[in-house]
Chains A and B, each alone.
Chain A
């Protein structure tokens, strides 16, 4: 070892080790650091040996956790030493002390490069290791080409090439630009032809990283990967040192299969066949053996193979084979293997449609529920929960109920929740459901949340047939000696509501029911007492004519609870007591509960929450989602090749069904999926905000067009979205090509929308069956920022989208780039900057056009950047107002006009209108109550901030005329503002101009026709 012979260093280390406490250690270290500083500062310089020794000491101190902020220079300079020991120290210490952003690294780059391109392979290895450890942009830029050369050089030993591949991997991870995709893909493919397994393993790691980023460029590597797998699976040409317990390089196998999973599919039939052969071989060849290490290795390979099988969406036989294998695993005794078996089976369940095959193993899974290992029990429970459907629900739920009484306390809550959900979801008949839940409460009352029994009550209330049955059941449970409080609650509620239905049965007279419920009263908590009081009131209500004895009993109880400390109970007692004195009138008030509105089971929601908590589940979900996108892509590929194979069909049906089983809540797979797949492949320039938030889309599109024009059913939607670019071509081939403009009718009145937006800052500007344009504006002084939300309501993209702004002379407007294509169901935001130069009433126009299928649509829309947007309300007091008002005397600064034909409106409404135009009405300035005085500030570049004052004198006798006086410091402004206010007052803003897109001849496009019908 290089340390031998360095006495100073070992003395120092033993000193440190002998320190009895931290403080002394610090003193010793500080002393040593002082010494090292003195040595490094020595004018005479140090011999290489001394330098090496002190640098080692520095590293040791650094590793102890002390700051070492000097001496880096010495460490770096050692790199260029000619001898190995010094060079080694230099490299090691540099890679420990410096990080990628350190300036000193620049000094080293040249030396490192010389070592890398040099002939000495130990030096090469040292250099590559350090570069790999530090990484960083500077290294990447200057050294990546040399490292790449090393990987493919034929003259290097495998050892060096291995290190070079790993080094490049590290550089690539930090900085993906280092690998030039075009040039490198071929070399990567060449690299995979390598015989040496070590180099191959390293390059496979590199490939996995490359492919995960961009699989398209590396298609050529796919067959090679399959070849490698074949070679390993057949155990051809695998040297002894790369076999691990008889398994040929399991690491390489796993990595290769991982890389294959990044490719969406395997197209070439030959490759596909040979890949399946290999997978088959792996599936067949793996068995459980005694040796733990061998098991670990072979199972790592196997489970990766399973993942690949699932990914490739293999034929049913292969799937069933996989499941058979997993079935074998869950039958073995070794807990780890069993766990993995169950876990993978659950995963399979999520991904593929293999319920029936898995069901065969139901018995075995149920046995696993009794395993001593809790993690296995949990897996088994998950699996059972996942595989449950109508056919086996009864068995499974019964099994779960049985298991409940012996289950671990930690699991009971989850277990009871799951049992309740399954019972609800797959109940063959409702009485069975009630039975199950009551049993559940009976057996594990502590773990049954309130939601569960609320749900029972909902069901019973909504199903009249069920009511007597449920009441009778509840009565039965009350006979048991010790029952759980939840059971008391649910029974009391049910009997209160429905006991009268049982009145004829023996032991079910109101009195008996009352007494049996009343027995429980002393033992229950306050919340239950409240329910019991309601029950008593109901019983009392149902016994008409009243039984005086029962009535007295119940009244005594109410009396007693009238002074209860709990407000809720007190109130109930007082109210029930008062009500029950009303006799028959009670009937109306305490009548039977009405039916509940149908709602989503809160249980399922809760279960989802629970699932999200466990990282495991979320991983599975993620995986399922990935799978979803990838299957969608598979479909796209095959249909573009005009193949409608059974696999394709399978894929189509699968996606929605799976999504409903995996993901119950809001994220609509149809929405999420195209968004996900599109952003990757979209050749068009990305919209300014590449990820339109689903909220916004939902907000704007939501209320009006949730479904879009019903062009296709859901499954078809998936095809279309999956196809994307191809879809357009296909559609063009089917539909006769007739390019037509303005074939669409806008939804809603454009003019009204415009006028509404003049007074508001956000809303919808325009809408037709295909597109919706929303606006959101912010105004500050004479600047404004509008954001146009262009939303595509359809499942196919909109093409040739164009938006042009025609600004009037007084506005300066800049619209940011509008993308040419709007992806399906996506929303694009286009910010628009506005600057007001001077006062004017002219309006800017947006010329918007797009193409849907073959229809060209063009609309001209007025933009709500009007005069009042540049007003900012300001309140002025009388002292400020009157001097101003007086100083602005006579035209052109102060203009007066009598306006006739005013839309009649009360004064208050007029004040509101003024306020919404940012003219703030100042009450009390004018003594006449029929007059309005308003003030505001106008902003433009020419006028800057300018105060504007307005006075309106109305005639209470004739609301259609008024006298208006407007004053400001700028003549144009005064005039324009006066005219603006006049416009607002005079007419109800009704479509001053016809909507631009005139209704055109009926189109040939079925979608458009349907939309027209709607």
Chain B
């Protein structure tokens, strides 16, 4: 098992140490000063998550207004370290019941110390699963008084949980109403050239579930993915239904999924943990349905004037609509004045990110709003330094649309008692890094 950390520091944006824990004595206690002076106070912050200063490596990551810094002096596994940080943050969040930020850390010193002791030992990551840890570390995070009061739970039988076959689920759960929520969340990453050809495109998706089910239910999920459908057609010896099948890459499952059954029967069957969890993650690179097409034209009229025209076409169903669409069109740093004409939404110039920001709150399918802007530039001393033309960036959310075309075919629940369940399924597609290059 690779070493992941010699020390971990939590810093606020000013560089003050909020909390820290040294796991090994091969780094000095003052290494965080080096981080502060050599990384935080320079412009390089945020450009490179791994830096080496004076024989030590610093892995850092910003989560809301907190920097989490891992210091190692040995040849540690970077991916493992970052995964550890991500998991630790998820753990803290589940303890704090919500946000993870400077205030939350300040309010939960004792709890964090206790957790830090538990989740890493001499630099080696340990069990980070919130379900398990909550059995031993029963100390509650300090919640804001407005959040709901935690329900009284029966004292769990810890040993059984740790040694039992189904470590992630307690026995004897009883719900009045048995419900299952299933969300398919996809984010689209796109890089499109100025001529409209796709340079890079992929979708990363995850299936999130929330279960409120009594007893020890066994669930079975069917998707319209290629493997599952082919298997099914073989078994039932009938041709597959016409329609798209999706090829999923890099599928990873939650530990509750029975992998032997997946390998033999190609079905996703599992005993779910109680509450919220991430059932699976996947990626697709082929056959992505792009929700938007962006057609920008930028004309530089002389040195001090520019004309920007952007047309956006939504290519999903006319009944659907996208929410929170933001288009950021970069302009040169020396932009002085702008004037806009938009067919929908609002646009303005944001000097601190050097972009024209066009926001459309509700964007129906099969429409094409346009924006045209006139930009006036101020003349500068540095004439030779030409504008680098960064790409246009886009943010959006499209509910009930999957860029991959993935659908849930069925979700079956079996339980000894045979109760009825209610299943809820949602789809949503978000923008990952959705970028369109400008013609140069």
Contact = CB atoms under 8 A, between A and B. Distances in A.
B14 A20 contact: yes
Interface residues of A, number: 24
B336 A41 contact: yes
A70 B13 contact: no
B286 to A, nearest CB: 39
A34 B379 CA distance: 13
Interface string A55-81: 000000000000001111100000000
B352 to A, nearest CB: 4
Contact of A70 (B40, B337, B353, B378): B378
B333 to A, nearest CB: 8
B48 interface: no
Interface string B335-362: 1110000000000010111100000000
Interface stretch (A25-33, A310-318, A730-738): A25-33
B351 A69 contact: no
B52 interface: no
A33 B351 contact: yes
Contact of B336 (A23, A28, A38, A69): A38
B337 A38 contact: yes
Nearest to B385: A69
A41 B374 CA distance: 14
Contacts of B334: 37, 69-70
A73 B336 CA distance: 15
Greatest chain A CB density within 10 A among B14, B335, B381, B382 is at B381
B186 interface: no
B77 interface: no
Contacts of B337: 37-38, 41-42
Interface in A7-22: 20-22
Contacts of B381: 69-70, 72, 102, 104
A693 interface: no
A35 interface: yes
A484 to B, nearest CB: 36
A69 B332 CA distance: 13
Interface in A403-437: none
B380 interface: yes
The range of chain B's interface size is: 20 to 34
B38 to A, nearest CB: 14
Interface string A73-93: 100000000000000000000
Contacts of B352: 26-28, 30-31, 34
A40 interface: yes
B376 interface: yes
B233 interface: no
B101 to A, nearest CB: 13
A23 B13 contact: yes
B378 A37 contact: yes
A21 B351 contact: no
B382 A35 contact: no
B41 interface: yes
Contacts of A35: 351
Interface string B29-61: 000000000001100010000000000000000
Contact of B41 (A22, A34, A42, A73): A22
B335 A34 contact: yes
Interface string A81-111: 0000000000000000000001010000000
A34 B380 contact: no
Contacts of A69: 334, 380-382
B351 A31 contact: yes
A959 to B, nearest CB: 74
Interface string A916-934: 0000000000000000000
B378 A41 contact: yes
Contacts of B354: 30
A27 B335 CA distance: 16
B379 A70 contact: yes
Nearest to A37: B336
Contacts of A104: 381
B334 to A, nearest CB: 6
Nearest to B338: A38
A94 to B, nearest CB: 13
B10 to A, nearest CB: 15
A42 B376 CA distance: 10
Contacts of B335: 34, 37
A639 to B, nearest CB: 61
24 contacts: A20-B13, A21-B14, A22-B41, A22-B45, A23-B13, A26-B352, A27-B352, A28-B352, A30-B351, A30-B352, A31-B352, A34-B335, A34-B349, A37-B351, A38-B337, A41-B376, A41-B378, A69-B381, A70-B378, A70-B381, A71-B378, A72-B381, A102-B381, A104-B381
Given A22-B41, A31-B351, A70-B334, 11 more contacts: A27-B352, A28-B352, A30-B354, A34-B352, A37-B335, A37-B378, A41-B336, A69-B381, A70-B381, A72-B381, A104-B381
Listed from nearest, the 7 A-B pairs whose CB atoms lie closest are A34-B351, A41-B336, A37-B336, A30-B352, A21-B13, A69-B380, A27-B352
